[in-house]
Amino acid sequence: MTDGLRWGILATGGIAHAFTNDLKLNGFDVRAVGSRRREAAEAFATEFDIPNVHDSYEALAADPEVDVIYVSTPHPFHAENATLALEGGKHVLVEKPFTLNRAEAQAVADLAAERGLAVLEAMWTRYLPHMVRIREIIAEGALGDVRTLLADHTQKISNDPAHRLNALELGGGALLDLGIYPVSFAWDLFGAPETIQATATFKPTGVDAQVATIFGYAGGRVATSLSASDTKGPNTASVIGTEARIDIDAVWYTPTTFRVVSHDGSVLEEFASEVTGRGMHFQAAALERLVAEGNLGGDLLPIDETVAIMGTLDDIRERIGLRYPGE
C-alpha cells in the first residue's frame, strides 16, 4: 500500500459496507463518506470510524481531505457520480459495471485523461491472489495452449419487482450485475472476442433473468458463460489448455481454491487463498500504486479495456434485445 491517499466513500449501500470494511481491516485511510441522506452518512461514519460526514455527493467531491472516491451507487448513476468526483479533482474507483454502456464509459475515461486523474473499474476479482497465480501459471506455459474458458455466475435473487436487480430503470438484470464477471475474465484471458453469440430469458419487469454467451477468438479459442439471477448454479470456472486445465472452485470470482489438473488427471498444483477480509482492498492498493507511479491509464485493467468491455456488454445486449430507459 502506498502512503498518502485518503479515501472517500460515495453512497452507503451493501457493497460500500463490504469495501469499506476491507479498507479498514487492511489499514487504508478512509477519511470521508457522502450520502443523499445525512442519517445514512452518519450511521456509516459511526460504524467505520470515519471523521468527515457529508449529506451530499457534491460536498464529498469538494472535501479537501479526500484524494480518491469510491463510487458505489446503482449503475445508471456511475457516470454522473464519477464525473462529479473527477471534476472535484479526485481519483476514482467505480463499481462494476463501470457505467451503463460504452458511450458513458468513454466519456468518463476522456474526462479522467483530461484532468490527469486515475479512474479504475472496481473489478476486484482481477486483483485477488488466486487470479494473480492463475495468470502466472498460464504465462509459464503449464497449461499448454489455452483453448477454453467455462464460467458461470448464477444466483437465486428475489423476484420482487421492487428489488434493484429487477428494475430495468436501474440497469437491473443478470448481465450487468453478474455477467460482468465472466465477461471480464474472458477479456483477461483472451482479449477482445472476434464473434459473440448470446441468448437470454427475461423477467416480467423486462430485465434479463438468464444470459448465456459464446465468445469466439482467433485460432479457435472459445469462452462460454452463463449468468442468471433466478437460479443458483455451481459458480465455478475452468481454464482449459492442451496440456492441463485449472479448475477454480466456488465461488470462483471471490478468494477461493483451485487445482491445476494434467490431461492424464494428475493434480499438478493446488492453491488456497489467504486473505484478510473479503479481498476488496487489493483493487484499492492497485489504484494507490498506479497513482504513486503516475501510471494513470492502469495496467492489470487499463481504462481502455474497461471501456471496451462495456462495448462487449453493449454487443450482448444488442443480440438479446435489451435496452435501458433513456438509451
Tell me what pLDDT residue 220 has. 96
Supply the range of the domain harboring residue 269: 129-274+310-320
Examine the pLDDT at 2 and tell me if it is beyond 60: no
Unique residue bearing C-alpha cell 458463460 = 225
CA distance 118 to 70: 12
Percentage of the chain beyond pLDDT 70 is 99
Tell me what pLDDT residue 291 has. 96
pLDDT tens, position by position, 182-203: 999 999 999 999 999 999 999 9
Unique residue bearing C-alpha cell 448470446 = 198
Residues 119, 25 within the same domain: yes
pLDDT tens, position by position, 148-169: 999 999 999 999 999 999 999 9
Residues 118, 221 within the same domain: no
> Is the backbone peptide bond immediately before 251 cis, with ω within 30 degrees of 0?
yes
Instruction: Among 124, 150, 174, identify where a domain stops.
Output: 124
Instruction: Among 86, 109, 124, identify where a domain stops.
Output: 124
Percentage of the chain beyond pLDDT 90 is 98
Examine the pLDDT at 1 and tell me if it is beyond 60: no
pLDDT tens, position by position, 217-234: 999 999 999 999 999 999
**What radius of gyration do the chain's Cα atoms show?**
20
Mean pLDDT of 48-67: 98
Residues 167, 74 within the same domain: no
286 confidence band (pLDDT: 50, 70, 90): very high
Examine the pLDDT at 244 and tell me if it is beyond 90: yes
8-state DSSP, 5: -
49 within some domain: yes
Residues 48, 79 within the same domain: yes
224 within some domain: yes
Cβ burial, residue 116 (10 Å; 0-12/13-18/19+): exposed
Mean pLDDT of 1-22: 90
Mean pLDDT of 119-145: 98
User: 292-299 long-range CB contacts below 8 Å, 24 or more apart?
Assistant: 292/2, 296/112, 296/113, 296/116, 296/117, 296/118, 297/113, 298/118, 298/120
161 within some domain: yes
CA quadruple 198, 202, 206, 211: dihedral positive or negative? negative
Tell me what pLDDT residue 4 has. 74
CATH number of the domain within which 87 lies: 3.40.50.720
Phi, psi of 60 (to 5 degrees): -65, -45
CATH number of the domain within which 180 lies: 3.30.360.10
326 confidence band (pLDDT: 50, 70, 90): confident
3 confidence band (pLDDT: 50, 70, 90): low
Tell me what pLDDT residue 252 has. 98
Instruction: Among 75, 108, 124, identify where a domain stops.
Output: 124
